[in-house]
């Protein structure tokens, strides 16, 4: 985002926070460089029996996925604190309102600059992650359903970044204290991510594979994400796997349980994008509501 192409309140916003705004592109560039080096080292490693040449790559990808999940929290905290609450706390926002800038333009400039930067960098992180995991898709299993890869490889991470921006604009006006606004926004954003993450695999019905008791354990497709497993009774009810004790070749189940088989619930990779679409839509609705609330609060205080 070039400062020369911006005008008015947006130019001021970029000028004020230019160092922080460059932090995310710099992080993307560093992560790309790290993954290039790791892939080059793995490709040139001498094969050893039983050794995993991509171990370092897998480990760094895991940490990178967790770091990406923190991005919406950090973005929201930055908007709530340094961008909004600090100016309200110190009173410097009054200077902007005397420079032919309306309250709506003042807040909109911060939202637009933060949203464009965060979404662009979230999408870039996703591309870097795809590049880094290419060797793992054919050599070693790397679950697409883990929280980090699930978020980075789809559309939910940019959506959560927009939610963080909207919540930051709303909370920053309510709290009006820099540190407190950052903490509250990070907490609320993280809570929404945790709740939706806990229920996301119920958006699309899971598939089930069964097998009679005593037969080999039912296995879903190799690229599937297992969500539940256990025992099936004659009436169609379900019991946890530990309801029956097992020996090496026989299953010992109390007769009164009427256990007849075993089951595994799973999601195939085909459920990935439907789940992403539903979660992304839900997050964008929440972001729109928070954004509407932010401008409603602004209008009530600065009519």
Q: Tell me, what's the pLDDT at 203?
A: 96
User: Which residues neighbour 153 within 8 Å (Cβ) at sequence distance 6 or greater?
Assistant: 126, 129, 130, 144
Biggest CA pair distance of the chain:
82
Strand-pairing partners, residue 238, are 232
Helices marked H in the chain: 8-16, 18-44, 55-78, 86-90, 93-97, 103-133, 147-152, 156-175, 178-199, 272-301
Cα separation, 78 vs 167, in Å, equals 11
Identify the CA nearest to 173 among candidates 9, 291, 70: 291
Scan for tokens 């995310």, then name that residue.
24
Q: 90-94, 98-102, 226-230: which range is least confident on average?
A: 98-102
pLDDT digits (tens, 9 = 90+) for 39-93: 888 777 666 655 667 778 888 888 888 889 999 999 999 999 999 999 888 888 7
pTM over 0.85: yes
Q: Is the pLDDT of residue 298 over 80?
A: yes
Domain ranges (residues) in the chain: 3-202+271-301, 207-269
pLDDT digits (tens, 9 = 90+) for 147-189: 988 998 899 999 999 999 999 999 999 998 999 999 999 999 9
Strand-pairing partners, residue 261, are 212, 232
More confident residue, 115 or 221: 115
138 confidence band (pLDDT: 50, 70, 90): low
Scan for tokens 């119920």, then name that residue.
202
The values of phi and psi at residue 224, to 5°, are -85, 160
């Amino acid at each position: 985002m070039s400062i020369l192409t911006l005008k008015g309140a947006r130019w001021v916003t970029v000028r004020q926070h230019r160092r922080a705004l460059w932090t995310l592109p710099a992080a993307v560039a560093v992560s790309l460089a790290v993954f290039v080096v790791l892939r080059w080292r793995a490709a040139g490693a001498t094969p050893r029996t039983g050794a995993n040449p991509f171990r370092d790559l897998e480990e760094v990808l895991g940490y990178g996925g967790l770091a990406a999940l923190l991005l919406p929290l950090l973005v929201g905290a930055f908007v709530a604190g340094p961008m909004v609450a600090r100016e309200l706390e110190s009173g410097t926002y009054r200077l902007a309102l005397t420079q032919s800038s309306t309250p709506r333009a003042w807040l909109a400039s911060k939202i637009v600059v933060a949203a464009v930067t965060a979404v662009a960098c979230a999408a870039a992180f996703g591309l870097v992650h795809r590049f880094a995991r290419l060797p793992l898709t054919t050599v070693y299993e790397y679950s697409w359903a883990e929280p980090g890869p699930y978020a980075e490889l789809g559309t939910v991470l940019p959506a959560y970044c927009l939610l963080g921006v909207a919540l930051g604009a709303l909370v920053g006006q309510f709290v009006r204290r820099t540190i407190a606004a950052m903490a509250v926004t990070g907490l609320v954003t993280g809570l929404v991510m945790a709740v939706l993450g806990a229920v996301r695999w119920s958006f699309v019905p899971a598939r089930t594979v069964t097998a009679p008791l005593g037969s080999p354990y039912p296995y879903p497709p190799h690229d599937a994400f297992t969500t539940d497993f256990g025992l099936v009774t004659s009436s169609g009810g379900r019991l946890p796997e530990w309801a029956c004790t097992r020996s090496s070749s026989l299953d010992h189940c109390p007769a009164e349980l009427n256990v007849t088989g075993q089951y595994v619930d799973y999601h195939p990779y085909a459920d990935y994008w439907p789940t992403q679409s539903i979660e992304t839509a839900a997050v964008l609705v929440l972001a729109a509501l928070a954004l509407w609330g932010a401008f409603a609060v602004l209008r009530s205080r600065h009519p």
